[in-house]
Amino acid sequence: MDTSNKAVIENPVMLPGTEPASGQRPSTIKKAIVEAFIKLNPAVMIKNPVMFTVEAGFFITLILTVFPGIFGEPSDRIYNGAVSMILLVTILFANFAEALAEGRGRAQAESLKKSKRDVEAKLLVKDGSIVPVFSPELRKGDIVLAEANDIIPGDGEVIEGVASVDESAITGESAPVIKEAGGDFCSVTGGTRVASDWIKIRITAEPGESFLDRMISMVEGAKRKKTPNEIALNTLLISLTLIFIVVCATLVPIGSYVDVHIPVSTLIALLVCLIPTTIGGLLSAIGIAGMDRVTKFNVIAMSGKAVEAAGDINTLILDKTGTITYGNRMASEFIPCGGYSIGELSEAAAESSLHDETPEGKSIIGLSKKLGERLPTVKNSIGIEFKAETRMSGTDFPDGRAVRKGAVDAVRRYVESFGGTIPGDMDKLAEGIAREGGTPLAVADGNKILGLVYLKDTVKPGMKERFAELRKMGIKTIMCTGDNPLTAATIAREAGVDDYIPEARPEDKLELIRREQGEGKLVAMSGDGTNDAPALAQADVGVAMNSGTAAAKEAANMVDLDSDPTKIIEVIAIGKQLLMTRGALTTFSIANDIAKYFAIIPAMLLLAIPEMESLNLMGLETPESAILSALIFNAVIIPILIPLAMKGIEYVPMSATKLLRKNLLIYGLGGVVVPFAGIKLIDLALAFVL
């Protein structure tokens, strides 16, 4: 596992039809350009009050250009026309940013729609016969048969049979997965294909309400709901806009009082430059792109609120098996007993695993290789499979020699049946392994027990480093496991989690989440079973595995198509990246108003009050070029920031204080300095042209 969040974020498994933010398809860009003009409709623009104000200014200056002097004042048609055109370009750039983000979502949705097709289903009726029907005719509760090469007609749960299912149409992964009745791997998705064998499926969704339908609606950015944080920021932007409208309106009577005439176009230019147009134009694109980044991880977020909540998570609850550990017991040590050497034990253990294809058997051979043992040949030997009755497995050789490995008590009985003796230190060594949370396997060569193999559920590489990163963010990690307290403590210590809950039941997880939330914390959790559904529903961010049950997927607000429980850590990183991007661009947008203030205010009053020249800190050439330069910078900064809004700010785990300091330094100070330089360069260019 890669321990770098940055590395993981840059190399996700791609949902069919997705593409990197930095590599937009030409067709998507062309559609976004067309959509930018369509969005000029005032009925659409009014949904974004900041940009609607800019559009209103565009119409007023356009009227002044076509009908000079309409407001009873001398009008400069060229100047008004220049202001009008710059305002139009500003609106188009903002619309383009939003359309580009929405277009990527639509492209993904179109790809998913190709997976959604009407197929013929084999409906099982009460008398046991099969009736062919088309998938739209199926209803919740219907039972269908799916055989090899059949397309699964709808979402459901396997109630009988075992089959290998190709889910590449949904996940992009070519390797089939096993689906069987009962347990946590019984859920199937409409549009996937049965690769082999057969299964009977109970349909769990009505037409139009399937998982694929919900995926399509979620990735279509235009249909998304604004998140609470986005609504709050939008309210702030509207408030600032109203304040600056009042400020600009009061300049007219104040100017008249001191005998200073301010042209309407100049007032509109001042208003547009002072209101937060940069973040106003990019706000929607940032939210849509955040959802898109989650989708690129093959995670479907059922709401933008869940993505944002992930960025504010305080507590992360994880299962042990399959999440923190591999879930398979692995050989970690050979412990000889009875005076035998580690070499003798290692050789016998490897011989007993020659025909063992389980993860345990392979890990024993792997450990023996590390110790430099030469593996025996499989030729002419006979493998003895593990059985629940014997609780042993092993190998019989042509010369009559037999080696066995298995549970300590089972191997003891096996050796005693041949008249062998039990090493005096075996029981003590076995108890020591158990106390450390491991599983002891005894190894016998004929009627001699050579020693023990220490099996333990191995912690995945890099988990300790990843939990350390979460700790830097202020996120508390809690491991929930059904293991005994001793085993749980051992794994928790190795993994580096902050706390653990041993012998955890479903109600214990639910109670833990409620307790954390009662302390004002936001909680994230991953799960896949029906017994996880209450906790997933209670958590602020619940990530269900696609391989899990329908109940778990219904309860969660995110679904991981790859069924990787550790991916919740990436989801948290993306949530934080979304919040950081929005906060940073808001800081930049408000900060760059300072430079535009020093450009336009002196230019407005310079002709009537020559003393205002002292405020012309940038040394701009003329009042008209100063105003046009500020307007042009205000327009071009939007497309310049589009890649940042779409890709997001690079996320590096750090405390909130350090993060605030960094953003203020880069985007706060940068938001002041960059416009000064940009406006001056544009002014020089205008002076050269004019």
- How do beta strands 143-147 and 156-166 pair? unpaired
8 Å CB contact between 140 and 181:
no
CA distances (Å), 130 to each of 123, 126, 144, 154, 165, in order? Answer: 5, 9, 8, 17, 21
Fold entry, domain 139-206? 2.70.150
CA 180/CA 165 separation, integer angstroms: 10
Asked which of 8-22, 408-422, 656-670 is least confident by mean pLDDT, the reply is: 8-22
CATH homologous superfamily of 311-324+460-561 equals: HAD superfamily/HAD-like (3.40.50.1000)
Options 150, 292, 319, 560, the catalytic residue? 319
Measured distance CA(668)–CA(99) in Å, rounded: 27
The 10s digit of each residue's pLDDT in 152-164 is 888 888 888 888 8
Kindly indicate the confidence band of residue 337, based on its pLDDT and cuts at 50, 70 and 90. very high
DSSP classification of residue 649:
P
Residue in this structure with the two tokens 């799960």, named with its chain if needed: 527
Using H for helix, E for strand and C for coil, what is the string for 400-445? CCEEEEEEHHHHHHHHHHCCCCCCCCHHHHHHHHHHCCCEEEEEEE
Work out the mean pLDDT of the chain and round it to a whole number. 81
Residue 312 DSSP SS3? coil
Residue 324: the pLDDT is 80
Q: Is 319 among the residues known to form the active site? A: yes
Calculate the CA 234 to chain-centre distance. Answer: 24
Mean pLDDT value across residues 462-484? 83
| CATH number for the domain formed by residue range(s) 332-456 | 3.40.1110.10
Question: What tokens were used for 652?
Answer: 């590096």
Name the pTM for this structure.
0.64
Q: What is the pLDDT of residues 348-365, one digit of tens each?
A: 999 999 888 777 888 899
Delimit the domains of the chain by residue range.
Answer: 26-107+220-293+573-688, 139-206, 311-324+460-561, 332-456
Q: What is the largest CA-CA distance in the chain?
A: 118
Q: pLDDT tens digit string along 585-614?
A: 888 888 887 777 777 777 766 656 666 666
Cα distances (angstroms) measured from residue 497 to each of 84, 465, 482, 486, 521: 59, 10, 16, 15, 18
Helical packing angle, 463-472 and 485-495, nearest 10°: 70
Contact 552, 565 (CB under 8 A): no
